[in-house]
Chains A and B, each alone.
Chain A
Amino acid sequence: MTVGASLYRLESIQHRYGERVVLDIDRLDVRRGETLAVIGPSGSGKSTLLRLLQFLERPTEGRLWFDSVAVDAEPPVDVRRRVTTVFQRPQVLSRSVHANLTYGLSVRGMPAHPAEIDRLLAALGLAHLAHAAAHTLSGGEVQRVAFGRALTFNPDVLLLDEPTANLDPRNVRLVEHLIRERQSQGVTIVLATHQIFQARRLAHRAALLLDGQIVEAAPTAELLDHPSDPRTRAFLTGDMIY
């Protein structure tokens, strides 16, 4: 894996819903090939940040750069297709698990190689559910389908919003194994999580987001073990009241 120049750059970003400021980021870079964990309490703006990175919304103010191009409008579909998100509350399509998994391939006009799909289904513990209707699955199974669906078409960027929130420890391990596989292939990953231990296990760098602002961004071990900002320390020790 190589961690190169910035793939995303956020400059003087402010994002508002009405009068409410939900993001206020002076500067944040996501480097090519890195895994950046965005940690912070619920409601701190993590999901909104991922929505901007997925081009679902444009910042109210400031500028977002993707691969050295300013994103002022909805990017062309071939640019959008380099990025995908596993949402915190993923939506499955009303079709089979297999059809959900191959959806991203079909919209790209790419063939679904049965052996690869079977391997992914097995890796996610979903092989026995391949032909089940996706809307009959449990929350954890839906989460794994959503995760697998994001991997089939080999995106350059994976945006993961609490990707293991509904999973038991065994399935957390399965998903984290697949994340590591993608890391080794050079995929850029932004992981929004409030699980500090997961950030430590997976991320090269971590950033604490609090009330829409980046408090501190540093290599994961440095941020978690030697935070420089008292708010980071308070968040990590559980002393922060929010």
Chain B
Amino acid sequence: MSQLLSEFRRPELLQIVALTLRVTGAALLLATLAGVPIGALLGLVRFRGQRVITLALYTGMGLPPVVVGLFVYLFLSRGGPLGPLGWLFTPAAMIVAQAIIAFPLVAGLTMSAVAGVDHAVREQVFALGASRWQSAWTVLIEARVGVTAAIVAAFGGTISEVGAVMLVGGNIEGQTRVLTTAIVLYTRQGEFAMAMALGVTLIAVAFGANVLLLRLQGRLRDR
């Protein structure tokens, strides 16, 4: 137990947590910025081919992260179309991979939340004089609890993800090592106390972030 506690004092732990939050936070931000408007649009309008897009999104929600990592790796590798960017084995590549993993979760669950708002609400705001954009915004606000849940689910999916960030980040000490990849490394090296300390830290970080998001959701619900 004392050994476990001493592991919490290791200086690299803070650095790993900071990078984890930076990568996951940036990926979540990108996925939210793209996923919420697209999900809202899909929940609001009907068009030809919508079922195919919905199916693709739902499939994406269950996409194995390691497969995403493989594709991002191939795109960013020296011979890949985005190779000249030089992003492979940098936090930028990890952010891209995690954003791709998070996007279908945010968009798909936002779509469900928006589509779940009673059609009568849309007719009501139309009758109160809302323009199309105002109507769409109002419906999105009505679906805010579901949209927050989408972001919470995407956060959980990305912070706990290991396969993609391991592939495209390379788990380089001080540069691309995040909590999940560090746990894998220390477990393989037999440093179980450090792996446990990282595991507890990961759970604590996820718990803290979810507390914040759920408090936000509660506030939104009560508004």
Contact = CB atoms under 8 A, between A and B. Distances in A.
Interface string B111-135: 0000000101101111111110010
A22 B138 CA distance: 31
Interface string B180-223: 00000000000000000000000000000000000000000111
B127 A87 contact: yes
Nearest to B222: A133
B7 interface: no
Interface range, B side? 20 to 34
A107 B130 contact: yes
Chain B, interface SS category? helix
Given A87-B120, A95-B223, A133-B222, A56 B129 contact: no
B127 A108 contact: no
A93 B222 CA distance: 12
A91 interface: yes
Interface string B19-40: 0000000000000000000000
A56 B126 contact: yes
Interface in B101-160: 118, 120-121, 123-131, 134, 138, 141-142, 144
A149 B126 CA distance: 13
Contact of B128 (A56, A89, A95, A149): A149
A103 B120 contact: no
Contacts of A8: none
Contact of A104 (B123, B128, B221): B128
Contact of A94 (B123, B126, B129, B142): B142
Given A56-B123, A56-B126, A103-B125, A91 B118 contact: yes
Contacts of A83: 127
A77 interface: yes
Nearest to B132: A77
Nearest to B142: A94
B126 A80 contact: yes
Interface range, A side? 20 to 34
B127 A56 contact: yes
Interface in A78-134: 80-81, 83-85, 87, 89-91, 93-96, 103-104, 107-108, 133
A107 B128 contact: yes
Contacts of B131: 77, 107
A72 to B, nearest CB: 18
Nearest to B145: A94
Contact of A91 (B120, B130, B221): B120
Interface of B: 118, 120-121, 123-131, 134, 138, 141-142, 144, 221-223
13 contacts: A54-B127, A56-B126, A80-B126, A83-B127, A84-B129, A90-B124, A91-B121, A94-B144, A94-B221, A94-B223, A107-B134, A133-B222, A159-B127
Interface of A: 54, 56, 77, 80-81, 83-85, 87, 89-91, 93-96, 103-104, 107-108, 133, 149-150, 153, 159
Ranked nearest first, the 5 interchain pairs of A and B with the lowest CB-CB distance are A81-B129, A91-B124, A85-B127, A104-B128, A107-B130
Given A91-B123, A103-B128, 15 more contacts: A54-B126, A56-B126, A77-B131, A83-B127, A84-B128, A87-B127, A94-B141, A104-B128, A104-B129, A107-B130, A107-B134, A108-B129, A133-B223, A150-B128, A153-B129
